[in-house]
Each structure stands twice: as structure tokens, then as C-alpha cells.
Amino acid sequence: MHGQGRDALQFFSKMLEVEVKPNAVTFTNILCACSDAGLADEGRTFFYQMERVYGVVPGIKHYACMVDILGHSGNLEEAAELIEKMPISPTPSVWGALLGACTRHGNVALVEKACSHLLDLDPRNHRAYVLLSNTYAKTGKWEAVSGLRKLMRDSGIKKEPGCSSIEINGSVHEFLVGDNTHPLSKDIYSTLDEIAGRLKSIGYVPNKSHLLQFVEEEDMKEHALILHSEKLAIAFGLISSKPSQPIRVVKNLRVCGCTYLQ
């Protein structure tokens, strides 16, 4: 849970040394550890040793973990093939793992395939619609984006709004995209403008592929990326905490890629 995947594998080795027999839960943890640590080869080895070496038959959670491992490492076709060969019917968690991986790697064909299967099993899964829409947006298919959003509205399916939170002096402050309700909004946006200016002066160029709505003007594209809730929370942290104090931002959804500085 704390991202120490290699430590988890070391503990697994110690379990075997003292002859503690691993069970299905053990392998769920091991495969999650491999996914978090980016250990695709190790994860593949453990998965295929489960039944043959340890007598543990892989279940849905193990297949979902393995699809996630392969997806993280970019082995999307192998992940899709694994799903096709599953001896048990794939669940939404399995197709969701493939969908998330294909979205990250921009594989439109597999995103559409995974989304179709996921919606067959869970027709009101808003995440499936959102990830498919985001993929279309990143590839410039704005008509498809509009069609999906209309379909969601007509079906009454609502996307969970992204919210970023930060705790300062015992108080939690929450931000939504483009939020201007905070008492220090003026200072927050001023700080973001300063950050953007300083980054631009040293050659940083924002990745406009993270813009998920159609904007024609180039300068407005850069401005739209500043409005993301993570950046608002970070700016507030900068103006509200001491220089040596770490800034920790918590989000209810996946952190947007534009927040990371390459």
C-alpha cells in the first residue's frame, strides 16, 4: 500500500524460507507489489508459478493484477491476449485494468474494445465513458468527445468531479478544477502565473495533450492547464506553508499527467 514493492518481494522470500505456505491473498499482494514497482518480469513469473509451483489457482483478482502489470509495462497486446484466454469470465475489474492501461499508452483500438466489454458488463460505469472520451480528446477526435458527453447527459451518467485536498495547520482545503471560491483565490492564481512564467523562462513547454476540451487559441490552452485542481492545491500550499514544510496533495481520482514536470 505504501509503494514498497521490492520490500514486499523480500518478505515473500522470507515466508518461503520459514516454510509459510502462500495462499491466494499472498499472491494478490505480490502481484500488486509488482505492479506498483513496475516489475513486469517478476510479476509474470509469479503469476505463472501460482498453480504450477504453489498449488494456488489464479482467480479474478490475480488476472486483474496481471493485466495491470502488463498494461503498466506497455505490453498491451499480451494483456488483451491474457484476457481472451482466461478460463473464467472477465469481470469489470479485469476490463477496467486493460482500459486504464490502454488509456495511458494511447492505444485507441484497445481502449474502444476494453470500453465496449466493460460497458456490456456495467452500462453505467462513468469511468469507462470518461477514459474513452479522454482518449478521443488526446487524439483530436472532438466530434467523438461531444457525442460521448451527450450520451452521458442523455443517460443521466455523471462523471465524479476531480477534487484535490491539502491540509494546512490542521485544516483541510479542497479545490475543484477552475475553483475560485477559496478566500485566497487571487493569491493562488497569481502564484500559478508566477510558476508558469518561471518554468517558461527555463524552457519548459506544457504538454497540451492533457487538455481534454477543445480550445482553439494556443495561449488559452496553456491557461486551461493551469486550472487543474492539483495545481491550485499546490499553489495554495506554496503560499501557506513554511519553505521547509513538505506539500502533500490528496486527490479522489488519478492525478493528471500535466501536474508532473518532466
Asked if residue 65 lies in contact with residue 76, where contact means CB atoms within 8 angstroms, the answer is no
Do 148 and 223 belong together in one domain? no
> Which CATH number is 123's domain given?
1.25.40.10
The answer on pLDDT for 238 being more than 70 is yes
Do 58 and 38 belong together in one domain? yes
Range of the domain at 15: 5-155
Do 138 and 215 belong together in one domain? no
Distance between CA atoms of residues 2 and 134, nearest Å: 28
Number of structural domains (the chain) is 2
Asked if residue 168 lies in contact with residue 240, where contact means CB atoms within 8 angstroms, the answer is yes
Do 127 and 20 belong together in one domain? yes
User: What's the whole-number mean pLDDT along residues 235-245?
Assistant: 90
pLDDT, one tens digit per residue, over 33-72 is 999 888 999 999 999 999 999 999 999 999 999 999 999 8
Do 80 and 172 belong together in one domain? no
Do 134 and 201 belong together in one domain? no
User: What's the whole-number mean pLDDT along residues 93-107?
Assistant: 91
pLDDT, one tens digit per residue, over 187-216 is 999 999 898 888 888 887 766 554 444 334
The answer on pLDDT for 73 being more than 50 is yes
Do 138 and 98 belong together in one domain? yes
- Residue 112 is predicted with a pLDDT of 94
Residue 257's pLDDT band, with cuts at 50, 70 and 90, is low
Do 138 and 36 belong together in one domain? yes
Of 155, 172, 202, the residue at which a domain comes to its end is 155
pTM of the entire predicted model: 0.70
Phi, psi of 114 (to 5 degrees): -65, -40
Question: Which amino acid, 142?
Answer: W
Do 73 and 95 belong together in one domain? yes
Mean pLDDT of the chain: 86
- The three-class DSSP label of residue 49 is helix
Do 138 and 235 belong together in one domain? no
